[in-house]
């Protein structure tokens, strides 16, 4: 949180700007506001957007020892679009709605990467998956599913740590691998599906 400076003597209000992620703005979040060696918990309600103002009535009494409100102006940081390197060529991005049709009902064996854009090891897997997708083109289908956006599939297949790779054949889960793996390790797991 950044404070907006006020001129003059004792202010009757203090203004702050708080930047939230899209998810925090949608769901609501609790933040700590440090002011004059005091710490206030600020509860941001769900559904706020850029320009919204959260008012803490008479909060200056707690932090500064005199009456006044704290006003918190909300700014929502737009999420960065997923770069093309995050979803490798030859790898299909799937979701909760099409998981059944793309994975379970697939005529080809399927390797599914449960991932999230903020996960470093997941980003390390992107070129490994792309290389494998090119190597096994037409023999194995490669899919990625974002666990933050698709909690139902992540929960159903217990993808608690990411990256988690699941290997399906004829609609059945054959093998599971948790954590980033090297190309030769992935190839060994894929060869079992053929």
Q: CA 175 to CA 33: how far, in whole Å?
A: 47
Side-chain-side CA neighbours of residue 169 (13 Å): 10
Enclosing H/E stretch for 131: helix 120-135
Residue 85, number of CB atoms within 10 A of its CB: 11
By annotation, the residues acting in catalysis are 119, 122
The H-assigned helical ranges of 9-96 are 22-27, 59-63
Q: CA 115 to CA 180: how far, in whole Å?
A: 10
Q: CA 137 to CA 85: how far, in whole Å?
A: 18
């Amino acid at each position: 949180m950044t404070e907006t400076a006020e001129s003059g003597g004792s202010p009757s209000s203090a203004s702050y700007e708080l930047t939230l992620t899209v998810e925090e703005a949608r769901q609501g979040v609790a933040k700590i506001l440090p002011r004059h060696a005091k710490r206030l918990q600020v509860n941001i309600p769900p559904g706020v957007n850029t320009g919204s103002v959260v008012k803490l009535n008479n909060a200056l009494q707690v932090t500064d020892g005199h009456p006044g409100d704290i006003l918190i102006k909300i700014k929502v940081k737009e999420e960065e679009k997923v770069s093309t390197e995050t979803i490798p060529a030859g790898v299909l991005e799937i979701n909760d709605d099409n998981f059944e049709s793309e994975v379970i009902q697939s005529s080809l064996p399927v390797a599914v990467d449960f991932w999230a854009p903020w996960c470093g090891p997941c980003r390390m897997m992107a070129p490994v998956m792309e290389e494998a997708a090119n190597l096994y083109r037409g023999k194995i289908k490669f899919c990625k599913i974002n666990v933050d956006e698709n909690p139902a599939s992540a929960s159903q297949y217990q993808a608690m740590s990411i990256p988690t790779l699941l290997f399906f054949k004829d609609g059945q889960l054959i093998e599971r691998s948790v954590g980033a793996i090297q190309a030769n390790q992935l190839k060994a797991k894929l060869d079992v599906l053929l």
